[in-house]
Structure 1
Amino acid sequence: MKNNDTNHQIVSTVSISQEHITILNDVLTAHTEVGLHNHAWGQLNVINSGMIETDIEGDITLLAPWQYAIWIPAGLNHSSHNLKTTEYCSICIPLKLCNNLPEKACIINLTEIGRAIINTILTKNISYLSGRKGESLATVFIDQLEDASKAMNYLPNSKDKYLQPILSYLKVNPGSNRTLNEWANIVFTSEKTLTRKFKSELNMSFREWRARVRFLNSLPLLRTEKTIQEISYLLGYSNTSSFIIMFEKLSGTTPEKYRKNI
């Protein structure tokens, strides 16, 4: 890893076990970069705030807020970087436990139980899930990962004939405040059908998808000299407080704090 043009390695005396889940954690300072590399084990990357971004060899970028984890299967070349100082946890999973985990890199929406297990591991400073209790906890954790919802992108797409024109438009015009009912009239279907389509195709509501596209569009805007109020209006919010609430919900920090760490 490198940070501000200097090499940075996770400081740990823990060696990776081929039999048990191994946990590595570190505090990564702002602008830490991890060069292209791969592992002989499955890796689940988790942070406690902000955003985690991982570039997969082949021009695929996985971007996820702190509530999610990024899964990297064994042998897959990847690199990553973070914009703000954050506590980072890498959960190294032996190949024998990866049989039912995704074969491709993806974003995992951690279950409450899965997140609670990670918090317990970090609170108790556990390095290996070994022994009777550790292996039992590992079994539950793997079950939670297998059952958790997964996506190839924080902002999922769809080629559905009703959804595709809506998604394409909002990606270019994130500040649009057209209601789902208005969209239903435009694409010649019912609001009920669109509601069902968003849930079945994208696993989220129309409002959540639109909030995500606005959130992602806000990140480059926060690098400019535009005020928070100007950004709020550009993204379709009638007041700054609504934008701030959305941003903090999705990133774990406020727009102003995020901007200071860029």
Structure 2
Amino acid sequence: MNIEKKTVDPSTHVGHVIDPQRPVLSISMERRGAELVTRHAHLRGQLLYAIRGVMRTSTDKGAWLVPPAQAVWIPPGVMHEVEMTQPVSFRSIYIDPAYNDGLPDSCCVLRVTPLLRAMILEASRIGNEYAKGSAEWRLMVVIVDQLQKIEQFPFHLPFSDEPRIRRIIDTLTENPADDQTLAEWATHAGASERTLGRLFLKHLGMSFGSWRRRLRLLEAMNRLADGAPVNEVAFELGYASPSAFIAMFRENLGEPPARFFNESNRNRAADART
């Protein structure tokens, strides 16, 4: 797959404008093909909201998948890249550092409520020229307030450069359906099963099994958003049956894939009409 690489110019990008008189600045983007926005950071915090398509944001500490109608929060100063492998429509809002109190201090995917979604779209419509104290300014302040309250989604996949687990991470990322047990991995890694288990907890904050399930969830989200059938995704990712896959999906996201993506599609259609 050919992927176009793009860079961010800090001299012209709104994410580098420091102006407490304008708490929120925004941009709207439509991407028609595969694209990688190379490593960069913003002086403002960024909320990257996906209307259509799936985006993957990566830092040195891990990756965050942004499914349709959800958003990823990227704190100011965090080096990251954004990858899109399919057509994507998104809105980004950038929060001035003067309003950072109470906002997450690390990257996370956020559940975008109908209220927040409407305000993101309205902020994009208003644009970046508004006066302090105006109705537009008050809306921007409410956006910041809403960001302090909303629920996080489990779409983070932590990384580590610890050599004994990096090989496992790289192999599973290439083939999420790999079903080797931790004991089997131990024979290749030069460490005992118990040591590998401790390394996953220490460096990734979760067990080997939890990390692999998270990887498969993120890969499933990517494929389902691209239109792949649930049965196909379940078997390709190593699940014994579609029902086992649906149970995993429901356990993590609170509803089965069909309902989750139907809600995303409704939100997306509403956004397109706005």
Question: TM-score scaled by structure 2?
Answer: 0.57
Q: CA RMSD in A?
A: 3.9
| 3-state SS in 2 of match to 1:147 | coil
The reply to whether residue 237 of structure 1 matches residue 242 of structure 2 is yes
CA shift digits 1:3-44 (9 cap, x unpaired): 83454669xx77435221111122122211011111111111
Shift of 1:146: 0.4
Counting only pairs closer than 5 Å after superposition, residues 83-162 of structure 1 correspond to structure 2 as 83-122=85-124, 124-128=125-129, 130-131=131-132, 132-151=134-153, 153-154=154-155
Shift of 1:155: 6.6
Relative to 1, partners in 2 of residues 1:52 and 1:71: Cα closer, same or farther, differing over 3 Å?
A: same
Q: Distance in 2 between matches of 1:139 and 1:154?
A: 27
Partner residue in 1 for 2:51: 48
- Identity of aligned pairs, percent? 20
The reply to whether residue 34 of structure 1 matches residue 37 of structure 2 is yes
Q: Distance in 1 between matches of 2:112 and 2:91?
A: 14
Q: Distance in 2 between matches of 1:33 and 1:48?
A: 18
Q: Distance in 1 between matches of 2:71 and 2:224?
A: 25
Shift of 1:237: 3.4
Question: TM-score scaled by structure 1?
Answer: 0.59
Relative to 1, partners in 2 of residues 1:233 and 1:125: Cα closer, same or farther, differing over 3 Å?
A: same
The reply to whether residue 70 of structure 1 matches residue 34 of structure 2 is no
Q: Distance in 1 between matches of 2:116 and 2:123?
A: 11
Q: Which runs of 5+ in 2 are unaligned?
A: 159-175, 180-212, 244-255, 267-274
Shift of 1:137: 0.4
| 3-state SS in 2 of match to 1:119 | helix
| 3-state SS in 2 of match to 1:137 | helix
Q: Which runs of 5+ in 1 are unaligned?
A: 158-170, 175-209, 254-262
Does structure 1 conserve the Cα–Cα contact (< 8 Å) formed by 2:64 and 2:157?
no
Relative to 1, partners in 2 of residues 1:129 and 1:61: Cα closer, same or farther, differing over 3 Å?
A: farther
